[in-house]
Structure formats: C-alpha cells, structure tokens
Chains A and B, each alone.
Chain A
Amino acid sequence: MTTTVYVPRDSAALSVGAEAVAEAIVAGARAGGHDVQVVRNGSRGMLWLEPLVEVATANGRIAYGPVAPGDVEGLFAAGFLRGGDHALCHGPTDKIPYFAQQTRLTFARVGVTDPLSLEHYRAHGGLVGLQRAITMAPAAIVDEVVQSGLRGRGGAGFPAGIKWRTVLGASADQKYIACNADEGDSGTFSDRMVMEGDPYLLLEGMAIAGLAVGATEGWIYLRSEYPDARVALVTAIQRARAAGWLGDDVLGSGRQFDVQLRIGAGSYICGEETAMLESLEGKRGMVRPKPPLPALAGLWGKPTVVNNVMTLAAAPWILQHGGAAYAAHGVGRSKGTLPFQLAGNVKHGGLVEVPFGITLRELLHDFGGGTASGRKIRAVQVGGPLGAYLPASRFDLPLDYEPFAAAGGMIGHGGIVVFDDTVDMAKMARYAMEFCAIESCGKCTPCRIGSTRGKEVIDRIVAGERREANVALLQDLCTTMKDTSLCAMGGLTPLPVLSALEHFPEDFAR
C-alpha cells in the first residue's frame, strides 16, 4: 500500500531545508523498499517546526518536525511511515494546540492539499463559492460581501463590500480587479502563504469579485521578493485556464474572467494602491492624489476594485457559507477572522488565523510562547513598518480595529514583530525614518524631505545635542508629516517614531 508523506514546498520551509528533506525521504523509501508518495503541500503555518513532515495514517496525519535531512534515517527506523514515535513526533497535526486553537476559514486548505492540484482543490471545498456566485445577480454577490462585514485586509480596513458596490455602480466599457500582492510589511507573510499554499483560492476570489462588479480582467501585482509565489501563481493561472475556471466561459457560465500576473521591482511604496496602479501601467510608482478614487478611476482610468490578497481570498468562504456566517466571527465592527503573523524574536513564529478580538498577550504568549532568545519581550511592532511600537503594558488590548486605533495602535495587515529587551528603540525609530527616506516615492514634500530630516533629528537627540529642543522639533516634524503627506507612507511613519519615543524615552537619552 502506498503511504503518503507531506513535505511542504512553502518558501519558509524551503528556507530551512525542506527540499533536501524531501530528497532524503524519497531516497530512504527507495533504499528500504517502501512504497511512498511524497506530496509537496503548503505550510501549516507552524513555522518554527519547519520543515514539518506529515505522514498520512489510519489515525490521521502525524507530524514530525523540525526535520533535518540527517533525521530521516532515524524516522524510517522509528517506523514513521506508520506514525511511529520519535523525538520529533508531535502526534496528529490537527491536535497540536497551536493549530487546533485556530479558526481557519481563509487558510482551511493551506498546508493540507497539494497547492497546484485542481483535484485537491475541488475535493476540499474549492469552487463552491464561485459556483454559487455564478447563479447570483451581481448586486446580490455584493450584498453578501457587505453583510459579511469583510474589511480590506491590506491595512486600511475599508469595507470591501462598499468598495465593490461603488465599482458595480460605475458605468464603463471596462472594469478591473487589481489584486495587491505587494506584501511589503516586515513581519507579514499571510499573502505569500496563500499564493504558494492555495493559489486557486486567490483566483477564485478574484473571479467572484469580477462577477460581482462586472470586471472581465484581473491583475495581480506580485512583489519580486516572492520568487516561489511567482512560480506557483504562473502554474495555477495556466492550469485554471486550461480547466475552464478562468477564461471566456468561467465554469461554463458564459461569463468571462481572466487573470494576468505582473511582477513588481523592489519598491515598498508600490504596495500603496495608487502607486501600484501606476506601476501596473508601466510607470514610476508615484502616489496619485485621491479623489478620484480607484473604484471610479483606477487602472488606466477605469473603475477598479483594488483589494489585498487576504481580502479577495476571504470571498470564496463568504460566498460558500454566506455573509452572516462570516460576520458571526469577530467583535464590534471587526468581523470575521484575521490571519495574524507572529514574527521576529518569537519562539513559536507562524500564522495564526483567529477571529478579531484576541489580545496581543494571548497571541504573544499562548501562541508565540515568548521570545526565541528566552529573554523578556520588550516591544512589539504591530502592522508593519508604519505600525506603532507597543510595550508590555498594552498587551491586553483586543485586536479590534477601532479600540486598537484609539489606543494608538494599527492592526494593518496583522503582522506582529517581537523584540526582546536587547532592542534599542531609538535605533528602531531612526530606522523607521530611514526606511521612509529609502522608499518614499518623492511626490510630496513632507514624506520626501521630512523622513531625511527626521533621521537627522533623531541622531542629534541620541547624541545628546539640545535634547529637549530636538525632541520638540521631532514631534513637530511628525505632526507635519502626519497631517500633510499624500499617503500612508509619510502619514504613518510618525507612528513607530512617536510610539517609540512615548513608550521608551530612556532609549533616547542614554
């Protein structure tokens, strides 16, 4: 009988040797005369256990990790093909608390299936949402998404259904779905994990959006830093076309929707929606003033839904189970789940999809297990390089858009970067300004010049030069950037800077 062994091809797993582990298992099976089929799945998201090898047994999938190529011989000796015990064995994958305590809606298939298998996708509930959407009027699809309460997952949190309704209501000879896959925030990787681990989910979500607003073309803007996601998407698009999931006759509906992929070129600002549109059009990624909204005048001036990967990837579940079922998760005006990402100096780093409302402390300690270094957590940065640095006294904040913002934080794309007590927060504040200077598109003055001046002022504060006057100057500069920048890059860079100054003033006065 053939035994199925899963070895992820997610790039996080590959980055710590999954390829060599897969080769060692194939070689070991051959040498021992075992009948083994190796499936290259996505990652389960327990990234500290990667490479996480799973074996399909009568008792479900049994997990082993982190497996090094040198461990494989011992695994065979321990009878891992029958789920045998071994020092690296974690028992059934589904029962590992980190995994069992999640609510996986968007990530239901990621790590479970072969990401590029059309059969796996269908067998695990894929396409049900799109098939239902095909039977619905566009306005009814939009209503379902409005009812779900889904908000844009890229950071701004704008209600997705309202955006879709605006595009549906616009009349034009051509409309577009533009997927923002320029996941540039440090500490985030949920988009990447879906694109590598369940790419058809994104394509299905885009097709649903297309049907909802009357767009026949979808564009994915993928960052060049994700070479493995690129390979997965190129293959997935080809196969989905060949299978009739995309193209002139989507699933035999007579409706048209196709997707093309464009690759960015290492610019953080192109994750800003209007800069991304400029880049897709082949130009410099310069931010456009709003209005006009991209929903009315977006890609090539046409009405365009610009949504993050996570937003579009939530649509199939919503169409399959209904907007009300999605809205039943979460708290306040933050409906559904968010795939949080635990990153940086954290013991159990990985992906945690849970309903909104969980606290930072639960994520950092119950899931994250504290720091990787074993030292105390001193600060976390939530929401990417434009998010606030928060001290331990704020860890009981619930992750819910409005209360979190009221407390000076920003959930953003759900990335959480952990720092231990060796961190120099003045250095991190300086880095925030430096990063803004490197990545600013240069269109507006407060961001282009303010970031460089900000870096210099922080240098003077740290050097002890007229400290009080320079702190006041930095605060003044940050107010100017916040109030007068064209987009979130210049507008939010003050957030990490001022939060570091507020919560960790001692680091600026050494």
Chain B
Amino acid sequence: MTKRPEPRPPAPAGSGADTDPSRAAIDAAIDAAIAENRDLRGATLPILHAIQDRLGYVPPAALDRIAKALNLSRADVHGVLTFYHDFRTSPPGRHVLKLCRAEACQAMGCERVERHLAERHGAAMHGTTSDGRLTVEPVYCLGNCALSPSLLLDGRVHGRVTPERLDALLAGLAAEERA
C-alpha cells in the first residue's frame, strides 16, 4: 500500500526485519502477557496491550488463547481487538510514527508534514516503507496542541514539526540503526 516515488535502499543487515521471532517465541510472549494480566478485572485490554508491547502487534494466534484464559468467546476477543485503533494485527515497521491530524495540528499545517512523509520518505498514512523501517499511523491529538504540528515517534512526542525537522528526526533514526 506504500507509494514509492523513488527506489529505496534495502534494509540494513542485522536489523529486526529479517529476524522474525519463531512461532514458539510468539506463543511464549502471548502466554506471558496473559499470565501477567489474566487476574485483573476487565483483563482484555491490558492483555492486548501487553502482547503488542512485546511483539509490536497482536498475532491471530492470540485470539484463542485470550478467549480460553478469560472464558470469553473468540468473537468477543476479536470484537475488542478490532474496535481499538491502537491494536495492529500485523507487524509494523521497525519504527512507528504517529502523526496527529486533529484540528489544532491542521491549523498549523500538519497536512504539509503528511505530504512530505509520503513524497520524500515513501511513508504514506497507514503504510510502511518498503524497507520495513517506518510505519506511519494517524493519531487524533497528543495533547501538545500549543506546539503543533505534533507527532509521536517510537513513543516520544515531538512538537513544532516542520518537514525539515522531520527529515532530521528520520536521519537520526537511520544513524541509530547504523550504529
């Protein structure tokens, strides 16, 4: 789904993209997330968060295991999983950028940043770059509305984002990966 205006270099060697955890490791992560949270009241969301924190997404194999642990139907768990924007059902890129597109950020030109991401970095909204480096998702407000436009990059908020500042942030990621 990613638009590619120009060819991308291949993923750097040794990066996470080519070291998919095995099925057994995935199951172990799911079971650990369930074990830690199953005794909470209303445990479904905490479990889904815990799985995604470990794996970056919630694999299909998690549904049956959660349903069994919480004595819910598979449909119940599927319903919760798919209701919330945060939960992914496939692995994201190695970095996740959430770009705010709510009103305050629109007032300060977040669309310009969104276009720049797609055109310069090949990272369209809801897409992942072809080298698997970056996933871009929309977010509706980061509570940083006096310093718009804002984005969340790997869990850290950045404000007053311009295309130039965005280039610097992404160059920083690339440098980190090479190091």
A residues sitting closer than 8 Å to B (CB atoms) are 11-12, 14-16, 47-48, 50, 183-189, 191-192, 224-228, 262-268, 279-285, 300, 341-346, 349-350, 372, 381, 385, 415, 417-420, 423, 428, 431, 435, 438-439, 441
A12 and B141 contact, CB distance less than 8 A = no
Contacts of B152 in A (CB 8 A): 225, 227
A418: chain B residues at CB < 8 Å are 107
Question: Can you list 14 pairs linking A and B with CB atoms under 8 Å apart?
Answer: A15-B147, A183-B141, A186-B103, A187-B103, A225-B141, A225-B142, A267-B84, A267-B85, A280-B42, A283-B76, A343-B145, A349-B146, A350-B146, A441-B83
Contact B143 A284 (CB under 8 A): no
Residue of A nearest to B107 (CB): A344
B140:A184 contact, CB within 8 angstroms: yes
Task: Specify which chain A residues have a CB less than 8 angstroms from the CB of B85 in the assembled complex.
Answer: 265-267
In-complex Cβ contact of B103 among A192, A300, A431 (8 A): A431
Which residues of B lie under 8 Å from residue A344 when comparing CB positions?
Answer: 103-104, 107-108, 145, 148
Contact B140 A187 (CB under 8 A): no
Among residues of A, the one whose C-beta sits closest to the C-beta of B83 is A284
Contact A342 to B143, CB < 8 A, known contacts A15-B157, A267-B83, A381-B103:
no
Q: Which listed residue (A226, A266, A281, A419) contacts B143, Cβ 8 A?
A: A226
Please, how many angstroms separate the alpha-carbon atoms of A431 and B138 in the complex? 14
Which positions 127-170 of chain B face chain A at CB distance < 8 Å?
139-148, 150, 152, 155-160
Shortest distance from the beta carbon of B158 to any chain A beta carbon, whole Å = 5
Residues from chain A with Cβ under 8 Å of B115 in the complex: none
A265-B102 in contact given A185-B141, A189-B143 (Cβ < 8 Å): no
Shortest distance in angstroms between B12's beta carbon and chain A's nearest beta carbon?
A: 26
Knowing that A265-B86, A417-B107, A431-B106 are A-B contacts, what are 12 other residue pairs whose CB atoms are under 8 Å apart, sorted by A's residue number? Answer: A11-B143, A11-B157, A12-B159, A16-B147, A186-B104, A189-B146, A225-B141, A264-B45, A285-B83, A341-B145, A346-B146, A418-B107
Asked if residues A279 and B45 are in contact (CB atoms below 8 Å), the reply is: yes
Give the complex CA separation of A268 and B141 in angstroms.
Answer: 10
| Minimum-distance CB pairs A-B, first 7 | A349-B146, A282-B42, A186-B102, A343-B145, A15-B159, A265-B84, A344-B107
Which A residues are CB-close (under 8 A) to B108?
344-345, 372
Residues of B within 8 A of A224 (CB): 49, 86
B157 touches A187 (CB 8 A): no
Contacts of A417 in B (CB 8 A): 103-104, 107, 145
Q: How far is the CB of A360 from chain B (nearest CB, A)?
A: 16
Q: Which of A191, A343, A428 contacts B148 (CB 8 A)?
A: A343
Pick the residue among B86, B106, B147, B158 that contacts A47 (CB under 8 A). Answer: B147
Which B residues lie within 8 Å of A423 (CB)? 107
B67 sits at the interface (CB 8 A) = no
Q: Are B86 and A284 in contact (CB under 8 A)?
A: no
Cβ contact of A184, chosen from B79, B141, B148, B159, cutoff 8 A: B141
Secondary structure at chain A's binding surface: helix, strand, loop or mixed?
Answer: mixed
Task: Tell me the complex Cα distance, A372–B106, Å.
Answer: 13
The answer to whether B87 has its CB under 8 Å from any CB of chain A is yes
User: How many B residues touch the partner, as a band?
Assistant: 35 or more
Q: Are A283 and B146 in contact (CB under 8 A)?
A: no
Which one, B83, B86, B140, B157, contacts A186 given CB within 8 A?
B140
Kindly identify which residue among B42, B83, B106, B141 contacts A262, using a CB–CB cutoff of 8 Å. B42
Residue of B nearest to A48 (CB): B146
Which residues from 39 to 96 on chain B have a C-beta closer than 8 Å to any C-beta of chain A?
A: 41-46, 48-49, 70, 76, 79-80, 83-87
Question: Closest CB-CB distance, A501 to chain B, in whole Å?
Answer: 17
Q: At the interface, yes or no: B105 with Cβ under 8 Å from chain A?
A: yes
Q: Which B residues, 93 to 124, have Cβ-Cβ distances below 8 Å to chain A? A: 98, 102-108
Q: Write the nearest CB–CB distance from B178 to chain A, whole angstroms.
A: 21
In the bound complex, CA of A327 to CA of B41 (Å): 39
Contacts of A428 in B (CB 8 A): 103, 106
Residues of A near B143 (CB, < 8 A) are 11-12, 183, 188-189, 191-192, 225-226
Say yes or no: B80 contacts A284, CB within 8 Å: yes
CB of B39 to closest CB in A, whole Å: 12
Give the distance to chain B from A433, nearest Cβ to Cβ, in Å.
13
Chain B residues contacting A280 (CB-CB under 8 Å) are 42
Given contacts A12-B146, A48-B146, A267-B83, contact A343 B104 (CB under 8 A): yes
Among A265, A268, A280, chain B packs the most CB atoms within 10 A around the CB of A265
**Neighbouring B residues of A435 by C-beta, 8 Å:** 102, 140
Task: Find the A residue at minimum CB distance from B165.
Answer: A16
Closest A residue to B139 by CB, please name it. A225
Q: Do the beta carbons of A186 and B105 come within 8 Å of each other?
A: yes
Chain A residues in 8 Å Cβ range of B49: 224, 263, 265
* Min distance, Cβ B114 to any Cβ of chain A, angstroms: 13
Contact B87 A265 (CB under 8 A): yes
* Chain B residues with CB under 8 A of A192: 143
A280 to B41, CA, bound (A): 9
B44 and A282 form a contact (CB under 8 A): yes
- Which B residues touch A225, using CB under 8 A? 98, 139, 141-143, 152
Which B residues lie within 8 Å of A14 (CB)? 156-157
Determine which of A11, A187, A262, A283 lies in contact with B104 in the assembled complex, contact meaning CB atoms within 8 Å.
Answer: A187
Which residues from B are CB-within-8-Å of A419? 107
Cα distance A262–B40 in the bound complex, in angstroms: 10
Most buried by B among A14, A284, A441: A284
- Shortest Cβ distance from B161 into chain A, in angstroms? 9
Q: How far is the CB of A454 from chain B (nearest CB, A)?
A: 17
| Interface hits, B1-55 → A, CB 8 Å | 41-46, 48-49
A16–B142 CA distance with the chains assembled, in angstroms: 14
Given A15-B159, A263-B49, A267-B83, decide whether A415 and B145 contact each other with a Cβ distance below 8 A.
yes
